Amino acid sequence: ETDVADRFHFFASRKMFQLGDEMSITYYNSPMDTCFCQFCLPDFRRWLQEHHASLEDLNRAWKTSFQAWDEVRPMPYGEAFLHPSPAPWVEHRLYMDHLFARTLQTKRQALLQKYPGALIGPTGVNSPPHVYGGNWNFWNMRVFDCASYYGTGRIPLSFGREQRLIMQYRGYNTPENATRHSFWEGLLAGERGSNNWYGPIFILPDLRTSQVRKYYQKLLWELRSGPGDLLYHSRKVTDQVAILHSQVSLIANFLKQKKAGYYDKQLSFARALEDLGLGYRFVAPEEIANGILAGFQALILPEASALSDAEVAAIREFVQKGGILLADYEPATQDQYCNARQKPALDDLFGISTRRFSLGKVSAASVPGLNISQAGKGITVTAGIALHSAKINDQEVPLVITHQFGRGRTAYLNFVPEYNASRDSGQDRGFLELLQSLLQLKPLTTVTGWESPVQQSAFVNGQTYYFGLLPQPMLPNWQNRSREDLQKAAASAEVELFRSGHLYDVRKGEYLGHTNKCRTSLVPGDAVMLALLPYKVTGLALTAPDRVSKGEIVKITAAVQSDATPAHHVLLLTVRRPDGAESLEYRQIESVGDGRMEFTLPFALNDLPGKWRIQVRDAASG
């Protein structure tokens, strides 16, 4: 461990270490089973003993007859179909993910001994989860302080977002409109940083600034002038809907002969909730078993085939006490080892009976505004109510089944959700309407008068809320169009918030009144950001000396003035030299809990004589 840390002693920065790029257990996510060596096998057996009460317990789960722990061996993927139980392969996959994270954690601990407080984690991680690869087990990898993803990491952002730096890779000569959209999509999803690749894209060989660098500079300059810091220091509102992200159910999906995109289904629900203005986050099986559902109003199970008895009990209790449960096909058909249950454990909650389930191609469906390509055969409605139906080979199958259970209610979606694939082209608006009618939850934000989808998010710091709206562009080839083209497609829309307060347009720096409604112009691919404060900002008091000497360290005090005690604010200090140019060296941005900040300006001995202009701006109110 000491050697690992010593190798990094020459790094000037002690803030961040990225432990490796595009790492995995195999080659990216190639399905290759490792490792069965003389070191991993004994460690695997020790890990199994921590997860099973006894060897007899393991034999029951695996359907094996080992006489001693030293006999226990996993099996490769191909053998999982020949054995009575796939558990030996399933648990080996989970162990290898554990081993991958544990190995990187060893390096992290060694670095922290030498560089306390450093941010340490992997980079070059794909956003879709996978059965193979280690890096793609997002629950295991939550222990790392930072990570850089390809694509928006909505799932990892659900696990400790406020304690970690989750970033997305950008750059790669991406057009300006697409880059702007990507920055705002990531910011509203909860990202707290960005990883921009790479040098030659931003600086030309003759050292001139590239066109990419120019529009990156405009984007980042604004985000680092307040909007990014406001959300960085705030908690994302996620306590309305929980979406289960289960690595074991992902493994169960991998075992199926006819697979539907597991990640696409997760994103179909997640992005639909964003477009409905509902706060959500992904939750892990361990969290459900430990009672986290008590803090949510609804739970969504995307192809949650493999559920433990503890998860099933927690879900049943959640609905019994008044919670809303929504699932697509095959929930709880297997246990946590991917062994088939004699009877699906949640069928009675949905008021259905499942027998010999399989997916079939849909020829017609009755849900308005929703294209459905695959639905399930083998579902019989018992105590539930079928709201919609579909035809598969002239056979009518129930499509949406609702049921009252205890004080709660459930909805079973007997089809493959495809909203993630169709959303950006403006299709399948019927999926939003269906979810809204089934969940019946009060949105945090509601947008009316705008036809295309709008990603909506809410953040909170104390009693102050921040809302973000990002309308999806519908123009053909919008990524390569001029910004003027997108601005011509702007339209007025009405925004309604879930509560009232003193409302500000953050990007325009405008006060909109004490209200919960406003009209705003939505530009496709560009964001609107609103701040809702419990008081009105009436001014900003600035205290600074009239004259200073070269080399003098100057204290400047800024204080937000309001009609109540100020709370969280982000203050931006800018300094202009006597020649009118902004002094980037003295530019500062600070997050303060009481609206008051004392800035320090260490003027240099060679600074220009003359009149210097100092300005402090409140990011929320302008």
Provide the CATH number for the domain around residue 589: 2.60.40.1930
Query: Which residue shows structure tokens 């680092």?
Result: 224
- Residue 73's pLDDT is 96
Please state which of the ranges 125-139, 273-287, 427-441, 588-602 shows the lowest mean pLDDT.
Answer: 125-139
Q: What's the structural domain count of the chain?
A: 4
CATH number (domain holding residue 292): 3.40.50.880
Task: Identify whether residues 211 and 121 lie together within a single domain.
Answer: yes
Pairwise CA distance, residues 100 & 200, whole Å: 33
**Which one of 404, 420, 439 terminates a domain?**
439
Q: Which of 213, 233, 253 is the last residue of a domain?
A: 233
Residues 187-229: tens digit of each pLDDT: 999 999 999 887 778 888 898 888 888 899 889 999 999 999 9
289 and 150 in a common domain:
no
Query: CB within 8 A of 200, min separation 6: which ones?
Result: none
Residue-level pLDDT at 178 = 94
pLDDT of residue 454: 97
Together in a domain, 225 and 262: no
Question: Looking at residues 440-463, what average pLDDT do you find?
Answer: 96
pLDDT, tens digit, 9 for 90 and up, residues 81-94 = 999 999 999 999 99
Rounded Cα gap, residues 528 and 522, in angstroms = 7
Give residue-wise pLDDT tens across range 10-49: 444 558 888 889 988 887 777 889 999 999 999 999 999 9
Last residue of a domain, one of 439, 474, 503: 439
pLDDT digits (tens, 9 = 90+) for 507-521: 999 999 999 999 999
Residue 180 shares a structural domain with residue 215: yes
Q: What integer pLDDT is reported at residue 2 of this predicted model?
A: 44
Question: What pLDDT is recorded for position 10?
Answer: 47
Q: How confident is the model at residue 126 (pLDDT cuts 50, 70, 90)?
A: confident
Residue 71 pLDDT level (bands cut at 50, 70, 90): very high
Q: Are residues 78 and 218 in the same domain?
A: yes
Same domain? For 104 and 75 the reply is: yes
By the 10 Å C-beta count (0-12 exposed, 13-18 middle, 19+ buried), 14 is classed as: middle
User: Which CATH number belongs to the domain containing residue 513 in this structure?
Assistant: 2.60.40.1180
Residues 150 and 255 occupy one common structural domain = no
- Same domain, residue pair 224 and 109: yes
One domain, residues 247 and 229: no
Q: What integer best gives the mean pLDDT of the chain?
A: 93
Alpha helix ranges (H) inside 306-345: 309-320
Classify residue 472 by its DSSP letter. P
Between CA 96 and CA 33 the distance in angstroms is: 9
Q: What is the pLDDT of residue 450?
A: 93
DSSP 8-state assignment for residue 242: E
Q: Which CATH number is 131's domain given?
A: 3.20.20.80
Residue 228 sits in the same domain as residue 265: no
Domain identity same for 255 and 195: no
Q: Look up the pTM and report it.
A: 0.95
60 and 173 share one domain: yes
Q: Residue 1 above 60 pLDDT?
A: no
Q: Residue 24 belongs to what domain range?
A: 2-233
